[in-house]
Amino acid sequence: MKKAGTETDLDRELADLPAGLRWREWLRRVEAVLFASAAPVPPEALARVVGQGVALEPLLADLAAELAERPYEIWRTGGGFLLRTRPAYAAAVRAAADPGQAPLDLSALEAAVLIAIAWHQPITRDGLKDIFGREISRDLTGRLAARDLIAPGPRAPRRGAPQTFVTTPGFLAAFGLESLRDLPDPGDPAA
């Protein structure tokens, strides 16, 4: 017996609707999924709510056009999509939020370690030690991982290979980056 509300209950094709209404319903579904998600939604997940073979890029472009006059927009980050508040409304959102709490509230060391991981990933604890001249605690990397800013990275294919760290899509979203290519050059004095 199938569960109510599962993907198998979803009529993806909407064959009983005229083409224009079908497109409109797919737009609404994609918008609803993006609205409900706190994390970037990968294209594969969005493809599960529209008809088979529907090109997501034109659908997302139409949705972006519909949202052009709204205070939020579709944003591509970390291989997925989010709805985010337009920068012009950031001050209004901050004014309504708890003014005593910074969005990430990172210590200087946490921020420095996060930057080092972003620029040098995948990087081991020894690599971080080389950069900072001291051991970086498991507690610190654990806090960054708990906030979905870093994750375990690949290990060399040998026994006892050290753990590495990489940034996550949550890191990209938290810092407004579409991909790691958007990071400033570590050699840039303004970085």
Over residues 67-86, the pLDDT tens digits come to 999 999 999 987 899 999 89
Specify the DSSP class assigned to residue 52. T
Tokens of 74: 């579709």
Tokens of 4: 């109510």
| pTM score of the predicted model | 0.61
Cβ atoms within 10 Å of 60's Cβ, excluding its own: 19
For 125-176, what is each residue's pLDDT tens digit?
999 999 999 999 999 999 999 999 999 999 988 898 999 999 999 899 888 8
**Rg (the chain; Cα; Å):** 21
Alpha carbon 45 to its chain centroid, in Å, reads 14
Contact (CB, 8 A) for 170 and 38: no
Tokens of 164: 């590495």
Tokens of 84: 């985010």
